[in-house]
Amino acid sequence: MPTSDQEHLTEISDLNIRSLDILARALHVKSAELEPTLQAIVSTAVRMLSPARYAGLIIFSRGELIPQASTDRVPLLLDHLQQKLGDGPCVNAAQHQSIVQIDDTRQDGRWPEFAADAASLGVRSMLCVPLSVDERCLGALSLYADQAAAFTDLHGRVTSLLATFAALALAEAQRADQLTAALINRDVIGQAKGILMERHGITADAAFGYLTRVSQAENTKLAAIAAQLVATGELPIATSPDP
């Protein structure tokens, strides 16, 4: 095997070993909280991949781009620009679930306004990797370099590994939030049922049916109707439950 090939394989092997070690340490975050976990991932990306000067992570929530973690103000500035434009390499990577690479911001014509601003901030090349779980678009992890054509296929593969960890952390946090919301809604609905049962002398099933009819009539979620009753003692429409 030619020496150059041996050196390349050694470089890949060393990078993989170093990457796994750094990643394992970075993800050892107290209480597995989401924000420090994502911050550890972007910080790890910069330490692990030498061409990267900055790293940033954005998420998409209800169609909006939200900067979530960053190693510097530069990714934040460029994320806010993409928010304003509604487009850009990070947005494109997330929406189309594909890796987007800019080899030279001074020559790339796909996002001219974004590229001009990036170049003015000293960013010459970028690598944007989507975050996805079960085909759900969650956001993008992006690397920024001050040299043109700084990122190789190997950098893309390692960044994809980091993006996978970030996506799993996001998915778990969203699942936990949904579970918490479901428990809160169940508690509020239970309180509302109790109010109606005491007020009208009806069964739990009848109280739930009453709330459901009001929800359908108002085209409002059942939990919101229940919360209004608990908070104000009144329902949005004045009706009586079935006997």
150 within some domain: yes
Looking at per-residue pLDDT, the higher value among 25 and 175 belongs to 175
What pLDDT shows up at residue 77?
94
> 115: domain range?
3-173
237 within some domain: no
| Domain final position from 155, 173, 191 | 173
Q: Based on the domain organization, do 54 and 151 belong to the same domain?
A: yes
79 within some domain: yes
pLDDT in tens, 110-134: 999 999 999 999 999 999 999 887 7
| Domain final position from 145, 173, 201 | 173
Residue 46 predicted with pLDDT over 80: yes
| Domain final position from 134, 152, 173 | 173
State how far the Cα of 182 lies from the Cα of 220, in Å rounded to an integer: 16
- SS3 labels along 92-124: HHHHHCCCEEECCCCCCCCCHHHHHHHHHCCCC
Residue 179 predicted with pLDDT over 70: no
Mean pLDDT confidence for 165-183 = 69
Q: Based on the domain organization, do 167 and 190 belong to the same domain?
A: no
pLDDT in tens, 64-78: 788 888 999 999 999
Encode 82-99: b = buried (16+ Cβ within 10 Å), e = exposed: beeeebbbbbbbbeeeeb
Q: Based on the domain organization, do 194 and 166 belong to the same domain?
A: no
Residue 242 predicted with pLDDT over 70: no
